[in-house]
Amino acid sequence: MSEAASRMITRPVQVALIVVWAVVLVGFAVFGLSRSGPTAREQVRVSAALPYAERAAGVLAAAVDPAATVLVLEGYEVVSDDCRVTAARFGERYEYALTGFTEPGQEAQLLTATARHLPKRYRAGVRGKPDERRLSADPGDFIAVRGTVDQPGRVRFTTDTGCRPGTLDAGTDRGVGPDNAPAQLRTAVTDVLAALRLPVQNWSARQLPCPNGTALWTVQASGGELPAGSSLTSSATTAGRLAQAPPVAGLAPLFAGPATLAYRLPAGDLLLRTEADPTGGPASTLRVSATSRC
């Protein structure tokens, strides 16, 4: 075969190989773009980041020891509504908060146990001085998980969206209504308020996804105002009536304070909290919440 003929055969083969290689590179690029997630926090708007925060909060709740903790979902709290995403862009930042009540003195153990039960990929750790222990973890999606001791017997857990572009004009209400919550939670709240001879007002509910595919719920209702000067632990009348309430009759609270009583129930947790009158008046408002478990 002549050299000219050889070149005539080789050239089409080379062109074909180049075309095939280009197609392969484009295919890999398209596949990578379709499968890869965001590479920076500012690529995800704050509204789209909420499911990430909720998913991490559900994993966090499942890692909390139910035998040593009464857990309640507090929901979203605004960290900043004008944070700086970049030098030229502003955004918003939210935290999903959970509160864990435990025996005073056991807060550090609760943080350590929670970190130990989080997935390994979270790289969870507890650091700080013995009386200032802090949990931190990284679930991915540019969400930060934290746990701190709020006060004796009370630990605050949060999942932080970080500063993200966009606004939540409709708020953080994601369509969760108390009517959709498990009936036994609403019954527990109603029974306690009935035993205390208080009305049931202002129902609300919060929900998180559990890692096992179920849902974690907190339902809450207000019982109206308590008499001036009374508290959950100092009033003999309140204590006597509460001792007869079906959900907690015969149970000792895991955590007890003048403004808070936290009970572990067979199928969930029950929390009673009083809040001072925001106008400075002598009366306080009782709120009762019941929380399921993952």
One domain for residues 215 and 236: yes
The first and second tokens of residue 206, run together, are 């919060």
Structurally, how many domains does the chain consist of?
Answer: 3
Averaged pLDDT, groups of 10, the chain, 294 residues long: 51 52 45 51 87 97 96 95 91 96 96 97 94 94 96 97 86 74 95 93 94 96 77 77 88 92 93 81 84 94
pTM for the complete prediction? 0.83
For residue 255, the cross-strand partners are 262
Question: For position 276, what pLDDT does the model report?
Answer: 77
- Measured in Å, how far apart are the chain's first and last C-alpha atoms? 77
**Residue type for position 75:** G
One domain for residues 83 and 22: no
One domain for residues 149 and 247: no
One domain for residues 204 and 286: yes
The span from the CA of 6 to the CA of 4, in Å, is: 5
One domain for residues 209 and 250: yes
Is residue 171 included in any domain, yes or no? no
Question: For position 30, what pLDDT does the model report?
Answer: 39
The span from the CA of 110 to the CA of 36, in Å, is: 36
One domain for residues 143 and 127: yes
Question: For position 60, what pLDDT does the model report?
Answer: 98
Q: How far is CA 102 from CA 47, 66, 142, 254, 294, in A?
A: 33, 10, 29, 6, 18
* Residue of 276, 269, 274 lying closest to 232 (CA atoms): 274
Q: Which domain holds residue 206?
A: 178-291
Question: For position 87, what pLDDT does the model report?
Answer: 87
Question: For position 117, what pLDDT does the model report?
Answer: 97
Is residue 173 included in any domain, yes or no? no
